[in-house]
Structure 1
Amino acid sequence: MCLPCIAEGGLAKILISHYSATMAKDLVYLVTGGSGFVGEHIVKFLHKEEYVKEVKIFNMNKGGFIEDLKGGTENIIKACLASDVPYLLYTSSISAVGPNTNLDPMVGITEDTIYHGEHLLSYGKTKAQAERLALLANGQQMNNGNKLTTCIIRPGSIYGEKAQQILNRYQSAKYQNNRINYIQPDHAGQNYEYVGNVAWMHVLAARQMQLNSCVLGGQVYYSYDDTPCKLLKDLDQELFTELDPDIQIGSQIPYWKMWLIIMIYSSIRFILKPFWKLKPFITLQILKLLNVAFYCDTDKAFRHFGYKPYYSWVESKQRTCQWLKETTEDLRKTKKNS
């Protein structure tokens, strides 16, 4: 017999505590990380759904973030089993798959693609461990005798309102005379997804876990939308020129130069560590990441639970630009007057 489900999502995790053979009208969701970048959008969507009675938010401590990924997931699974919460939707990352330390490209991958090698990023390694825990938990028996259903969503690089990295890159371009200087070579295209569409995929998956747990249980889905696969500099240019036409593509920073800057900065940071805590700079792992192509090409989420992007590429760009415009108005005024 197939029982319906309830969910928990990763960067935001959604927990629902109800079993029903049809769509229930009184569901309670717990979103861990519900005040975060993705979680905030998930919460907004859930508040609009008439079948949701209540949305609760739990924000995990950000201290020891990498170490907490596996332990936090393990604790949440134990809580689901002990408290008879039948559905867990976990937000992972494309980094759980790769790239690897050999920098082998991940081009047009699907959920069935086998990609080997040691993870380039520690974050990806820990996400992969958390994924294994979530998948192993699928079908485990809860205290009430029913079984837990789990599912995983893997976003790529996410942009949108409140994306601090986009804000930082815009400010950097303004301070460099309206030039977007970049690192990525031409072959290193990547997936980018609008945060609202990533959140919408979570909400749809959580709903369908309840209606069709036999299909979604134990499955992994890459997130995707209509955002074109691009180099980061090209995405930035499309976003920035919407509100600031003076911004142009600048110069590519050679790999060797960035490597040297990172080495010098790391040495200075190490020397000054007892006296002054310098802000983190780009790491060698991130530099390598920017030099490898990795993106998916899949429609599994559409085939399994009817996912389609809630926002088009044009709408996603407009919403991001409006937020960026409001956030950086003072900076543009300052540069214009100087």
Structure 2
Amino acid sequence: MSLAGLKCLVTGAGGFLGQRIVCQLLEEEENLAEVRALDILISSETLQNFGKLKNKTLLTVIQGDIRDRTVLDTAVEGVSFVIHTASIIDVLGHVEQHTLWDVNVRGTQNLLEACILSNVQHFIYTSSIEVTGPNSRGDPICDGDEDTVYQNSTHAPYAATKKEAEKSVLELDGLPLKNGTSLVTCALRSMYIFGEGSPFLLKHLDDSILNNNVFLRTSRKEALVNPAYVGNVAWAHIQLAKAMRDPEKLNRVRGQFYYVADDTPHVSYADLNYELTKELGFGIEPKLAMPLRMLYCYALLLETVSFLLRPFVRYIPVINRSLLTLLNTPFSFSYKKAQRDFGYVPRYKWEEAKQHTSRWIAKMIPLRAAYLNKKPI
């Protein structure tokens, strides 16, 4: 089903995934009437990239906060479908919990309310694999699917906000709208996303440069996950948007969540960094800095120090138990349901995704090295 002639709003359009979705929408062969790109900040470089792709589709950039209802009411007016990627990702605790909830949960609820008032029929929510887990025990999953039963006992704030926001989205599927239609909602739980522009990959790259071009071993080799390339995750959103307009697929996808992966080999998070850079001369430490149990004890010690210092100073540990569990639990999922229900097939093969990402890393190496050399100790 075509998206030609429709108006779309993408939130988080200045982010790693959001800007890739905007680019793919602008590349659509059958032009949309308008793509609205909403974010609190969109860099000049991102705007230039958007400008290179502009065709007959009108691109409207809206600078505003997802928590500002006035901005949202204007942004959704006359829109046919919304792709909601905006959120704060925080696994270390740099962001206060109330801010996480305001943006990730209340911001999503604000957007839903604005869509309902404006009769926006289709709403796609970018969820996260962390909604599923891993749990605090580190129970593994190998090639799970949407029917896999898993007891999630994690209390990580970011995961909790994504879970609550996803629940808010899916619960409203089927809600009658004033124009006689009904709201159609769906959520995509993406695996860890890599690719050009990844802020996490940049952080790991910085650490490796400071470690003589050797990546730190943050996860066991046995902790296999299946990361997904940013271009494929963006493509899944667009394929789902088309399926929502297809009468034959609509009832299959509405109110559902789907895991989004691709054909990237199952590797640990640390070994993914190495796979993307080994041809550039990078190495990786052969094992963890200390046995995993000792790392958990170390993380607990840092968390305790952080708690004790809280009345006096805000100290954020470089590692915590929740992140250690995430990095060291085998946790992978199949995308077969997405393939079956709305025809999702990865747009980029692993070798192509790897090549694109490696080329970007090669360009970033001298820039990051220069930045780190000037950075005060």
Give the TM-score, by structure 1 length: 0.84
SS at match of 2:18: helix
Aligned to 1:237: 274
Q: Which residue of 2 aligns with 1:190?
A: 225
1:153 aligns with 2:188: yes
Identity, in percent, stands at 34
- Name stretches of at least 5 consecutive residues in structure 2 with no aligned partner: 40-65, 68-87, 89-94
Aligned residue identity for 2:230: V
- Matching of residues 257-272 of structure 1 within 5 Å: 257-266=294-303, 269=306
SS at match of 1:205: helix
Q: Paired residue for 2:9, among 14, 30, 34?
A: 30
The 8 Å contact of residues 98 and 106 in structure 1, kept in 2 or not, is answered as: no
- The aligned counterpart of 1:79 is 114
- Report the CA distance between 1:98 and its aligned residue: 1.5
SS at structure 1 position matched to 2:143: strand
Shift of 1:276: 6.2
Contact 1:173-1:181 within 8 A present in 2 as well = yes
Task: Please give the alpha-carbon distance, in whole angstroms, between the structure 1 residues aligned to 2:335 and 2:239.
Answer: 17
Q: Residue type matched to 1:28 in 2?
A: K
Shift of 1:133: 1.6
Greater alpha carbon shift after TM alignment, 279-288 vs 56-65: 56-65
Residue identity in the other structure for 1:40: Q
Whether the aligned pair in 2 keeps the contact of 1:197 and 1:225 (CA below 8 Å) is yes
Return the alpha-carbon distance in structure 1 between the equivalents of residues 315 and 356 of structure 2. 34
Please state how far the C-alpha of 1:185 moved relative to its aligned partner: 2.7
| Bigger mean CA offset, 60-69 vs 29-38 | 60-69
Aligned match of 2:127: 92
**1:274-289 map, 5 Å:** 281-289=318-326
Is 2:165 aligned against 1:130?
A: yes
More relative contact order in 1 or in 2 (CA 8 Å, sep 6+)?
1
Deviations 1:208-259 (A, max 9, x none): 111232222112110011101101222111111122x252434322224433
Query: How far off is 1:262 after superposition?
Result: 3.2
> 2: CA distance between counterparts of 1:54 and 1:142?
22
Q: Which amino acid aligns with 1:44?
A: C
Please tell me whether the aligned partners of residues 189 and 294 of structure 1 are also in contact (alpha carbons under 8 angstroms). Answer: yes
Unaligned runs of 5+ in 1: 1-21
| Shift of residue 205, structure 1, vs aligned partner | 0.6
Report deviation, 1:195.
Answer: 0.7
Q: How does 1:215-234 map to 2 (within 5 A)?
A: 215-234=252-271
Give 2:38's aligned residue. Answer: 58
> Cα offset for 1:297?
2.1
Q: Please name the residue that 1:43 is paired with.
A: 22
Deviation track 1:1-26 (CA, whole Å, cap 9, x = no partner) reads xxxxxxxxxxxxxxxxxxxxx64531
- Match in the other structure for 1:3: none
Contact 1:111–1:298 (8 Å) recurs in 2: no
The reply on whether 1:296 has 2:275 as its aligned counterpart is no
Contact residue 188 and residue 231 of structure 1 kept, 8 A: yes
Residues of 2 paired with 1:263 and 1:100: CA distance? 17
Please give the per-residue CA displacement for 1:135-158, whole angstroms capped at 9, x wherever unaligned.
Answer: 111110011121111111100111
| Partner Cα separation in structure 1 for residue 224 and residue 162 of structure 2 | 22
Corresponding residue for 1:19? none
Quote the RMSD (CA, aligned, Å): 2.5
Give 3-state SS (helix, strand or coil) of 2:33's partner. strand
1:264-288 CA-to-partner distances (Å, cap 9, x unmatched) read 5445656766776556522221012
Taking the aligned partners of 1:66 and 1:110, their CA distance within structure 2 comes to 28
SS of match in other structure, 1:182: coil
Aligned length in residues? 314
| Distance (whole Å) between structure 1 residues aligned to residue 154 and residue 314 of structure 2 | 28
Among 155, 162, 178, the alignment partner of 1:143 is 178
**Which one-letter code corresponds to 1:54 in the other structure?**
E
Q: Distance in 1 between matches of 2:303 and 2:150?
A: 31
Provide the C-alpha distance between the structure 1 equivalents of 2:171 and 2:126, rounded to a whole number of angstroms: 15
2:234 to 182, 199, 202: 199
